[in-house]
Amino acid sequence: MPDQHFNARVEQLRTTGRFPDARWCPSPNFGPRPEGAAISLLVVHNISLPPGEFGGGHIEEFFCNRLDPHAHPYFQTIADLQVSAHGLICRDGSVVQFVSCLDRAWHAGRSCFDGEEECNDFSIGIELEGADDVPYTDAQYQSLARLAALVRAAWPAITAERITGHCDIAPGRKTDPGEAFQWAHFHRVLSTTENA
């Protein structure tokens, strides 16, 4: 018998676009999905601000256009960018949501998956607080698996093969989630989560 609590969470996500248990931190960097665009892709990213450093709240500031360019030299190079993601999974596994999954977040940029361009139109973007060459935490894999299970239940067009990395939809331009992301391990955790 299907788990009623899980089904309720899936229905909440499908109707509101909000991840259950995520902290809401709304970003202005989003827009409507094109008419007829069906959600069918989950894109995994990484981000750390400053690069290679964790904590400090700078990612939230960046996605909400509040990053202080004087707080770090690197910030001067990105302060004028307007980007976002649907969600961020912090190192401790906690989740922050910036854009409703029903809306188009600005996470993928110029991109292509399976011959279809402009992946922002039909994808959900999840950022992991991390760097290409720094191992992700067990808590992050667990949280990502829980989110992916909910997303796949809400939008079944997202098959296991349609969970991909930013590097795979923008090759040569992006490298995240990087060599540190263990895809096989993630899919094992996802399978365990979905079959629990």
What is the C-alpha to C-alpha distance for residues 99 and 64, in angstroms, rounded to an integer?
10
Q: Is 161 a catalytic residue?
A: no
Can you say whether the dihedral through the CA atoms of 158, 123, 168, 177 is positive or negative? negative
Backbone angles phi, psi at 193, to 5 degrees: -65, -45
Catalytic entry in 11, 61, 116, 127:
127
Count of beta carbons in the 10 Å neighbourhood of residue 35: 5
Given a contact cutoff of 8 angstroms between Cβ atoms, the answer to whether 148 and 190 are in contact is: yes
Identify the DSSP state of 103: S
Residue numbers annotated as active site: 127
